[in-house]
Amino acid sequence: MMQVPQRIAYLNGEFAALDQLKISVLDRGFLFGDGIYEMIPVYSHAIFRLDEHLARLEKNLAAISIQNPYSRSEWRRLVVSLVEQQNFADQSIYLQVSRGPAFPRNHAFPAEVSPTVFMFSDVLEAPANLLVEQGVHAITATDVRWLRCNIKAISLLANVLAKQQAADAGVAETILLRDGLMIEGAASNIFIVKAGIIYAPAPSDLMLTGITYDLLIELAEQNDLPLQLGDVTEAMLRQADEVWLTSSSKEILAIIVLDGQPVGNGQVGPIYKRMVSFYQDFKTTVMRRGLE
């Protein structure tokens, strides 16, 4: 019989069942989307690049002037404890820090406020083998978001709408275009391949570089795959031999049809297959370390 997930969550110093935790209706995360979040994969109870995720959290909290409520070691202890309390092995940790509850409602920061810290874990399901082996479809749309997309803010309405465009079209992702350049997906980073060279947008204020994005760059360098970071034009995207989407939950998936047109020969490409193999080897290493 399949084990029913029993989700234990964390809120402001308390671990409890997820459905028992409550926040104030005056929380600025609820009223303004005033906060930062992280998504952290866990494989067989081994946490994927926890320090890199916590470093990004610290950087983003500072970017919007929320005082970090915990030290790095305290964060690590809390995340590890959350993982250990779940009765399922592969997990997706959602971590959110908002500025906290304040009254009256005012756009400017309140003089005295304590951050709200919330974490929960859900079952992490790897992409279906069929999707990994055969690829997915995507569409493009104009990027209408603000100019600080590098901040991992909880105010994600524009991304939600772009992702819904993909859902309405029956495809996996919406690739966002701005001023003739490919930026990223609604909930992913995008890589392309042309003539054996991997191209990806360089980090900028207009995109959120994921931890998986960083890992793919490392894997390309470690395995002598040619890689160039810089502007990727819409023309380059549409003329690519391969297009990939990457994220912590989707890992790496090949986009084989874009806006109804085949990418390259319309099949997953050889460089993608190599990168998937390198990524799976890395995951195995992470899980092995978790058992040490």
| Residues labelled catalytic | 152
CA pair distance 122, 286, nearest whole angstrom: 19
* Chain centroid to CA 4: 26
- Cβ partners under 8 Å of residue 280, min gap 6: none
SS (H, E, C) 157-168: HHHHHHHHHHHH
Backbone angles phi, psi at 37, to 5 degrees: -140, 165
CB-based contact 232:201 (threshold 8 Å): yes
* Chain centroid to CA 289: 23
What are 147's two structure tokens? 């100019």
- Cβ partners under 8 Å of residue 189, min gap 6: 200, 201, 207, 208, 209, 210, 212, 213, 245, 246, 247
What are 148's two structure tokens? 């600080």
SS3 220: helix
